[in-house]
Structure 1
Amino acid sequence: MLMYSVYTILGIVHSQDEDPRLSQQAREQALQYAREAQAPGLQALALGNLADYELRSGNYARALELSTQSLALAHEDGEISTEILARHNMGIAKIGLKRLEDGKRDVLQAITMDAQREAGSYTAEAWLELGGYLEKVDDLPGAVDAYHRARKEFDAVLRDETRKAVLEAQARFEDQQRQREIRLLNQDNSLKAEQIRTRDLQLKLWAEVGGCVLLSGALLALAYRRIRRTNAALAQTNESLREQSERDPLTGLANRRHFQQAIAQRTREGGLRGSLFLIDIDHFKRINDQWGHAAGDTVLVEVARRLSSVLREQDLVVRWGGEEFLILVNSEATEDARQLGQRLLDQIGGQPVDHGPLRIPISASIGFASFPMAPQDLTLEWERAIDLVDTVMYMAKAHGRNKAYGVAAMQARDRDQLLALAGRIEAAWHQGQVQLVSLLGPVQEGRA
């Protein structure tokens, strides 16, 4: 068992080497130790890992053979997660071998099993990976459908996370409200007790009028100071609650609630003005699967730090949800947006992310646009503007990832025509109706 774990980790460590044979040898050695241990579950997982390597190497026939063996062992041992992995790899291998219908059926079955476990973000990643392989074999309608389903799954996950965050914030607020009411009641009781003692002193020391006046004044001043301190504490608590409700607890960035309040003020007199960027970390599901969710959290925190390091204090950077980030800057110049887009690609993907002994290489896909839109200076509502940059961001993913597409100009006379072009932006780009800026990220040289 120990040697199986050691060689499995070595296979992961060498997976980013220029020479992939070390990774292959380590995975095969892990399979051998799993067989010697007579552990069907470990054998199924080792076969799945080896099949995944063969898929990335383009050896689809070998990947199908390994996945078939893995599926049988996983089903026999009752390992649902490994069975899902094996069935998914079988489908992808069949697609690579041009057996599209069989491959789609296997992948859809794996996605259905995954969805029954309520693993929304992983289901979305499975659709996204299916779209990429369908695009490779020129099944463009199938690829488009898979990308749309991935988008729907990501939206559903985002809605669930938002609802959960709102309920948690509401529970925290109600608990703090109760604690505050208790403190106020105790302070009110203390104040009343102080007033009673003051009256008793006045009655007992009536003969000493001068002393009573001084004592009463001192007590009133003390009560006034206490009331002021109480009011200050209440104000500070309210401000702290407001900040917590508008901040992402993991990265410390602004969240969607803060963005919606800020954007409402910016667009009060018309449509959105400025440059808008939507950023998605590439292969984030693979990071979680290979190195665990703690590594994924480390990547999210580091990306947030890198984004903030290239932005100014007045720029707005938001964790939009999952592995997506949104940036709004005041500049309306297309050239400024292009330069910032390149800096963001270089800053995110320039260095691997350190997580313990691991160095995890990362990259991102970015979509951006500047408003008002050239050449007619057309503006959009902020929701439509986000839809536009989301579309070109997914174009960047579909065209290889680790790149950015920016909308420089759209040949539209009015808002309706602008939205119509946005709905078919890639076709409009090829027809010369849309001008796009294409940027490439840094070459990936990191090792995990």
Structure 2
Amino acid sequence: MSPRPLRLRCAAGALAWAGLLAGVALGADAARSAPAATTAAASQPTAAQPALPWPAFDAQVQLAQDDPDAALAGLRALAAKGAGARPLALARGLVAAASGRAELHGQALSALAALNPDPVAAADAALLQAAWADAADDPQTAQKAARAAVDAYASACTPARACDLQPRWLALHLLSRQDRRRGLSSAALEHAMAALELARAAGDGAYQALALASAADAAGLMGDAVAEQRQLARAQSLAQADGDPLLRSRVLIAETRMHRRRGDLEATRRTAEAGIALARQGGSLRLESSHQANLSDALVALQRPREALQAVDAALPVVRRLGDRRTERVLMHNAALAHIGLRQTEAARREMGLVLAGYRQGGATADQAQALREYADAYAAAGDLPAALELFHAERRLAAEMMAANRDAALAELRKRFDHEAQQRRLEQLGLERTLVNTQLDNRAALQKVWAAGAAVVLLAAVLVALMVGRVRRLRRRLEDNQERLREQSRREPLTGLHNRRGLQETMQARGLTQAFEGALLLLDIDHFKRINDRHGHAAGDAVLVETARRVREAVGPAAGDADDDLVVRWGGEEFIVCLTGPRDNGAAAAGRAARAQELARRVLEAVGGRPYALPDGGSLRVTVSLGHACFPLEPARLPLSLERAINLVDMALYTAKNHGRNCAMGIVMTSATTPEALSALEIDFDLARSEGRVLLERLNGPPADDAPATGAPGSTREAEALRV
């Protein structure tokens, strides 16, 4: 498989909190004039400084990005001039986060806690927690703290009590950043636009430029290329008008990521080099290192690993000295990919281990899964197929865990909603019952006065009881129907409507086929699906998944996915499984299933690749799949296999199909394994077994492209010269 341009390789550190305040404060002259302007701001406090003192500290916060010791000296000078306790503590905390100084960070939090019950001080404390967690590459903690800071500022900052722009803006920007890391692109865009409105209300063009760059990045992750280009153009215009080279360099970070998502590697390289030049002009080693990380990513993708390592070596000492852990991890990730490309196995595994351990420790599950996928692609490109297969399986297990976690969260929300509805119905029922009891008591009193009127009331009460009983029964039936629908939804994948992993496991368990599977399995994977998402957007990717599911169901049969014998399953991502079962095993049934599996593989290849897909934007796209299939138990020994091992074998056949040109099917015809041990050895190194003739595969080619030379109808060929017995 070819390497995929995943977001892990691009450093977004220059769009993070570190360095965002540099050169863009409301006191712009102070932020751009180095220590001399800092001294002037400290020695000439304005009358408004006690109420809005933050601009006096801004130059020191931005200085801390490259020289934290000088920044702390400047803050001590401001403290000697009688600066306010709250802004001084906030500034020290941000300097501590930028330089990784835990003791100083703790002191800043203690100083803010001593100002209790000041609500703005509480919001500042939450902001410091978010900034520290973000600098330490702890996205879970950073997201919670940033959310708390945004809410606290919204509550504390009123028309009667004005707040500084920069801390409120930074809280929103940090929250948008964590949303992007969690894959919540729409939420990231919403918070970036809120930061833009805040900067626009204050009339600060530099902050507007940075918020627009962040919004463009979120729009790009959502697949909205038009909005991404428009917002990035506005950010570049504002940065150009401002004239600050550091601001222009930061906006170039977003442009670099845009080119990388679109697969324009040369544009990615040129933009990163331009960002390095501007960062050097502005004198920011931290920002220069972030661009070096992006440059190393582009060089790896351009298959220039030695140059990529040079870029990594130039940036790593700087980010380690400055305590920039996230950029350090990106550089180490790109170094691992470069070592893989250079066949430097030990160095690659060492770097990989450190990167993956960091993602696990920080709870960045999505980053960990994408890192595994990139490493697997790099090993596949380098020809180390066993290592690639091992990493692909690890990534698939992690993706399954994330899907299960998302499904469980959705189910919990549904159960909560249904429980609430049931409780509301119970309250309604109790209210009606109470009304009924009151009516009966009134009837008894009336009975003592007028027997005739009492009889009529009793009759009315009986009618009400009958109506209530009928209503309760109807409510109970509705509740049971909802519970059954909920169980069915947990077995279905919402995008395509197919069964999911849980649906397959439960169905096979009900048929008694999980430990000794009998039937045919087809595992297919959409070729170059990542490229579809990158070039046409995620909406087009979803449309391709839905249409592929429909075509596969149509190829299997009109009731595929619901019939007793056939099951079509979305296995995960762009993978699908077709499971053919039927009567318990006998010779005729097995032969029939094998023939049907071979014929079905041909129909699936033709159904998917035979005609183009219509895209949501009105265009069209040709899509192909790679496919592995087999009929179990395997001939001739017919050793029993669990469902999990059967899927693993057809996965190896699928992997072989992908490494033999894609747009084809590889079917396992038979194997020489006559013992469980021999079968296990075959699974351990499938490629070796295939090359030695211990397993016989049959290849079936998919339909050729319209512009390809005619080769006749799709045909099949058998691999391996002989079957070793």
Do both proteins adopt the same fold according to a TM-score greater than 0.5, normalized to the shorter chain?
yes
What is the distance in 1 between the residues matched to 2:682 and 2:348? Answer: 36
1:266-415 to structure 2, matched below 5 A, reads 266-267=511-512, 271-312=516-557, 313=559, 314=563, 315-330=566-581, 332=590, 333-353=593-613, 354-415=615-676
| Aligned partner (choices 457, 460, 465) of residue 215 of structure 1 | 460
What is the distance in 1 between the residues matched to 2:604 and 2:382? Answer: 29
Post-superposition offset of 1:189: 2.1
The answer for the alignment partner of 1:193 in structure 2 is 435
Distance 1:397 1:84, change over 3 A: farther
The answer for the alignment partner of 2:34 in structure 1 is none
Post-superposition offset of 1:157: 2.3
Post-superposition offset of 1:319: 1.3
What SS class does the counterpart of residue 277 from structure 1 fall into?
Answer: strand
Distance 1:322 1:84, change over 3 A: farther
Count of aligned pairs between the two proteins: 396
Q: Which has the higher contact order (CA 8 A, sep 6+)?
A: 1
**Contact persistence 1:361–1:445 (CA under 8 A):** no
Distance 1:91 1:367, change over 3 A: same
Q: Does 1:254 align with 2:509?
A: no
What is the distance in 2 between the residues matched to 1:107 and 1:72? Answer: 29
Post-superposition offset of 1:293: 1.7
The answer for the alignment partner of 2:119 in structure 1 is none
What SS class does the counterpart of residue 119 from structure 1 fall into?
Answer: helix
**Contact persistence 1:352–1:360 (CA under 8 A):** yes
What is the distance in 1 between the residues matched to 2:401 and 2:424? Answer: 35
Post-superposition offset of 1:399: 1.8
| Aligned partner (choices 224, 239, 264) of residue 509 of structure 2 | 264
**Contact persistence 1:272–1:371 (CA under 8 A):** yes
Between 168-177 and 37-46, the greater mean CA deviation after superposition: 37-46
The answer for the alignment partner of 2:81 in structure 1 is none
1:110-129 to structure 2, matched below 5 A, reads 118-120=366-368, 122-129=370-377
What is the distance in 1 between the residues matched to 2:610 and 2:692? Answer: 34
Q: What TM-score does the superposition give when structure 1 sets the normalisation length?
A: 0.76
| Aligned partner (choices 385, 388, 405) of residue 163 of structure 1 | 405
What is the distance in 1 between the residues matched to 2:413 and 2:258? Answer: 44
The answer for the alignment partner of 2:298 in structure 1 is 86
> Which blocks of at least 5 consecutive residues in structure 2 are unaligned?
1-239, 241-247, 280-286, 307-336, 583-589, 708-725
**Cα displacement string for residues 106-134 of structure 1 (whole angstroms, at most 9, x for unaligned residues):** 99989998996743554344234323421
AA aligned opposite 1:396: A
1:176-191 to structure 2, matched below 5 A, reads 176-191=418-433
What is the distance in 1 between the residues matched to 2:639 and 2:393? Answer: 27
**Cα displacement string for residues 276-316 of structure 1 (whole angstroms, at most 9, x for unaligned residues):** 12121111221222222222112111111111112232121
What is the distance in 2 between the residues matched to 1:398 and 1:368? Answer: 15
| Identical-residue share of aligned pairs (%) | 29
Post-superposition offset of 1:228: 0.9
**Contact persistence 2:260–2:268 (CA under 8 A):** yes
What SS class does the counterpart of residue 310 from structure 1 fall into?
Answer: helix
What is the distance in 1 between the residues matched to 2:460 and 2:659? Answer: 79
Q: What TM-score does the superposition give when structure 2 sets the normalisation length?
A: 0.49
What is the distance in 1 between the residues matched to 2:697 and 2:350? Answer: 34
What is the distance in 2 between the residues matched to 1:350 and 1:442? Answer: 6
> Which blocks of at least 5 consecutive residues in structure 1 are unaligned?
1-36, 55-62, 136-141
What is the distance in 1 between the residues matched to 2:261 and 2:409? Answer: 39
Between 86-95 and 437-446, the greater mean CA deviation after superposition: 86-95
**Contact persistence 1:277–1:327 (CA under 8 A):** yes
Distance 1:376 1:68, change over 3 A: same
Post-superposition offset of 1:144: 2.9
The answer for the alignment partner of 1:153 in structure 2 is 395
